[in-house]
Amino acid sequence: MQLNDEEQAMLAGALGPARQWAIKHQLAVGNFFDAADFVRVGQAHIMADTESLGASGVAWLEALAALPAEQRRVSIPTITDPRGLDFASYRRLKQTEAMAELEARTIRAFEALGVLLTNTCINYQTILPPVRGEHMAFGDTGVVIYCNSVLGARSNFEGGPSALAAALTGRTPRYGYHLDLNRTGSRHFAIHYRPRDLADWGALGGIVGRASNSYWQVPVLTGLAAPPSSDELKHFGAALASFGSVALYHIPGVTPEAASLEAAFAGRPPPAALPIGDEDVAAFYAAYAAAGDKVDVVVFAAPQLSLMEMRQVADLLAGRRIGADTTLLVATSPEIKFAADRMGLTQTIEQAGGIVAAGVCFYQSYAREMAEANGWQRLMTNSAKLVNIIAGYGYRPTLASMERCIDSAVAGRVL
Amino acid sequence: MAIVLKCHRGIGPTVTGEALVAADNFSARYDLDRSKGIFSRASHRLFGESYHDKILVLVTAKGGVASAWMLREMKQRGLVPKAIVFDRTNTILAQGAAFAELALVDRFEAGDPTTLIRSGDELLIEPDRGLVTILNRS
């Protein structure tokens, strides 16, 4: 890779060991992906919950945090993905004091690095959305696919160490979705189906993701009736990224880099379209169906809820009572939680017996340990991303609309 | 005479070990019980298999940014694959392998390595040279 004087200085250690580690790490990754040089990035977003960091990862962060201030502070605006637990609700979820202590140590380390602890996977709805063409180093696959596709920003999936490296150097290797040549459509899906709610949008994302099944595929969708909302594309993209590891899609006429079908494929003839219809979506739901089963936990998360989703949950729960043997958990960002508190939405949800957690997103929160401590198996959610992830943690997940999830939470069994 | 497969230049050290192959994908967060060192997702083709000290040969890496931290954490706790071989990796696993200093290679000239390598094969992985050698077959 071609390095300028500043990058050479970082590599030589002139800017301290943290930036030296960072640029060495970025060179290893950049060389692997044949990057020619570095590109400056506007923000970094770090996924670093303690469950994935582990004790060794936290100790590694603390070593960076112990360096002198001028050596350890990040050089661009840097924010965080959801944390491993919410200090206000972890005891109710039977998370342990050891987990809380590890979380507190991680937070202290990030603060010392100058990182803004936003603890959110919906920063594009709540913090500072990127603009078209802006290069970013974003963690969280749902954040990357939304910002690449809906906003026209440019980011690869940057895992925690790589996003932190970008935060320290202010740049990232120019490969993958930073390059025009990787951003044109490669698959074509003709949608003969009308999603009615967020779970349907997630199911559609899951189906397209399974069919695409590669970070390097760029699906293009035609046939969708009206421009979707931000929350609908949030669930669609999160599922597409989760099931298929996909980081960019185009919807001609909706997303900014695809004014037309021709533009989506950069003037090349579109490949034959794979049709997706009602029966595909019905089969997707059927794989998770469990009518009549006892519901242990109903989760609204993955991604964190917007203020509009918080309103929907509150409206559906108003004046009702969740079944005595069922837990209902809602995860949102700290900013939205504050707004929901102020607007009475949190109170409505908690009066019905629900728990509103801030700055977490359930699956990043020691899901296996929570299942064991609470005796949870059957989980219901309207998040297709969550049903995909959570089976590996020993849960039996069911996908349903927000309405049916809440009706089931009240009844205590899958309706 | 061993079989030599050419691939893209990879990440991490030269290693030898036994292959564990599946025409399936990989995510440390979605697919593994990292406390036991086994594949824990029931629908995974390696469900119940131990991955410790094996050279995993799989198709691609799936969603889940967490894998970038997890490989190093798995290595430090001593329950970790010896190397990972993909047909094509996503960015996360490449970043995670760089952070963990774990061997990882992909992009083979002869095609998908899950069709070229069999479980139980003895492999030599040379990331710097972009070579994977099947030592027990000719």
Task: Identify the CATH number of the domain in which residue B101 sits.
Answer: 3.50.30.10
d(CA B118, CA B85): 12
Chain A residues whose beta carbon lies within 8 Å of the beta carbon of residue B94: 29, 32-33
Closest residue in A to B44 (Cα–Cα): A392
Residue ranges of chain B with per-residue pLDDT less than 70: 63
What amino acid occupies position B98?
A
- Most A CBs within 10 Å, among B47, B51, B79, B91, to test the A interface: B91
pLDDT recorded at residue B63: 62
Q: Are strands B3-6 and B131-134 parallel, antiparallel or unpaired?
A: antiparallel
- 3-state secondary structure string across chain A: CCCCHHHHHHHHCCCCHHHHHHHHHHHHHHHHCCCCCEEECCCEEECCCHHHHHHHHHHHHHHHHCCCHHHHCCCCCEEECCCCCCCCCCCCCCCCHHHHHHHHHHHHHHHHHCCECCCCCCHHHHCCCCCCCCECEECCHHHHHHHHHCCCCECCCCCHHHHHHHHHHCEEECCHHHCHHHCCCCEEEEEECCCCCHHHHHHHHHHHHHHHCCCCCCEEEECCCCCCCHHHHHHHHHHHHHHHCCCCCECCCCCCCCCCHHHHCCCCCCCCCEEEEHHHHHHHHHCCCCCCCECCEEEEEEEEECHHHHHHHHHHHCCCCCCCCCEEEEEECHHHHHHHHHCCHHHHHHHCCCEEEECCCCCCCCHHHHHHHHCCCEEEECCHHHHHHHHHHCCEEEECCHHHHHHHHHHCECC
Q: Closest Cα of chain B to A220: distance in Å?
A: 19
Task: Please give the pLDDT value at position B65.
Answer: 84
Find the CB nearest B68 among A31, A160, A176.
A160
Q: Report CA torsion sign: B38, B41, B42, B47.
A: negative
Domain that holds residue B85: 3-134
Closest CA to A99 of A53, A131, A139: A53
Looking at CATH, the fold of the domain delimited by A5-180 is given as Aconitase; domain 3 (3.30.499)
**Structurally, how many domains does chain B consist of?**
1
Mutation test of the interface with chain B: which of A34, A156, A215, A217, choosing the one with the most B Cβ atoms within 10 A? A215
Contact A202, A382 (CB under 8 A): yes
**Which residues of B fall within a CB distance of 8 Å from A143?**
none
Residue among A217, A269, A74 at smallest CA distance from B90: A217
Amino acid type, B111: G
For A28, nearest residue in chain B (alpha carbons): B98
The confidence score (pLDDT) of residue A392 equals 78
Nearest to B60 among A162, A245, A394 (CB): A245
Distance in Å, alpha carbon of A72 to nearest chain B alpha carbon: 18
Neighboring chain A residues of B43 at a CB cutoff of 8 Å? 391
CB-nearest partner of B68 from A161, A363, A392: A161
CB atoms within 10 A of CB B130: 16
> Nearest C-alpha of chain B: how many angstroms from A238?
9
Q: How far is residue A263's CA from residue A257's CA, in Å, rounded to a whole number? A: 7
Per-block average pLDDT, block size 10, for chain A (415 residues)?
A: 98 98 98 98 95 92 98 98 95 95 97 98 98 97 98 97 98 98 98 98 98 96 94 98 95 97 96 98 97 97 98 98 98 98 98 97 92 97 96 92 98 98
Q: Write down the pLDDT at residue A52.
A: 86
A250: Cβ–Cβ under 8 A, 6 or more apart, which residues? A149, A185, A218, A219, A220, A221, A257, A258, A264
Is A159 in CB contact (< 8 Å) with chain B? yes
A47 touches B: beta carbon within 8 Å: yes
* Chain B residues with CB-CB distance to A389 below 8 A: 29-30, 64
Contact A159 B65 (CB under 8 A): yes
- Residue A292 tokens, joined: 């009549």
CATH code at A297-411: 3.30.499.10
| Element at B15 (helix H, strand E) | strand B15-21
Longest Cα–Cα distance in chain B? 40
Q: A158: phi > 0 → left, psi -120 to 50 → alpha, else beta; which? A: beta
Q: Output the pLDDT for position B29.
A: 80
Which residues from chain B sit within 8 angstroms of residue A361, using beta carbons?
A: none
Query: In this complex, is the C-beta atom of A30 within 8 Å of any C-beta atom belonging to chain B?
Result: no
Residue of B43, B88, B95 with shortest CB distance to A159: B95
Distance CA B129, CA A121 (A): 39
Pick B65's closest partner by Cβ from A47, A176, A392: A47
User: Could you give the CA distance from residue A415 to residue A326 in angstroms, rounded to a whole number?
Assistant: 14
- Taking an 8 Å cut-off on Cβ atoms, the answer to whether A140 and B65 are in contact is yes
Contact A148, A154 (CB under 8 A): yes
Structure tokens at A350: 């908690």
**pLDDT at B67 (0 to 100):** 87
Q: Do the strands B15-21 and B122-126 form a parallel or antiparallel pair, or are they unpaired?
A: antiparallel
Pick B73's closest partner by Cβ from A57, A244, A368: A57
Q: Note whether A162 contacts B: Cβ–Cβ < 8 A.
A: yes
Contact A102, A84 (CB under 8 A): yes
Task: Compute the residue count for chain B.
Answer: 138
How far is the alpha carbon of A240 from chain B, nearest alpha carbon, in Å? 9
Residue type for B80, please?
Answer: V
d(CA B27, CA A210): 15
CB contact under 8 A, B10 and A49: no
Chain B from 51 to 110: CB within 8 A of any A CB: 60-70, 72-73, 76-77, 88-92, 94-96, 98-99
Judged by CB atoms closer than 8 Å, whether chains meet at A57 and B72 is answered as yes
Is A408 an interface residue toward B (CB < 8 Å)? no
Domain with CATH 3.30.499.10 in chain A: 5-180, 297-411
Contacts for A227-231 with beta carbons within 8 Å, 24 or more apart?
Answer: A227/A253, A227/A254, A228/A195, A228/A201, A228/A254, A230/A125, A230/A150, A230/A306, A231/A198, A231/A306, A231/A308, A231/A309
Q: Under a CB-based contact definition with an 8 Å cutoff, are residues A162 and A67 in contact?
A: no
Give the per-residue pLDDT at A244: 92
Q: A74 and A44 in contact (C-beta within 8 Å)?
A: yes
Chain B residues lying within 8 Å of A243, measured CB to CB: 62-63
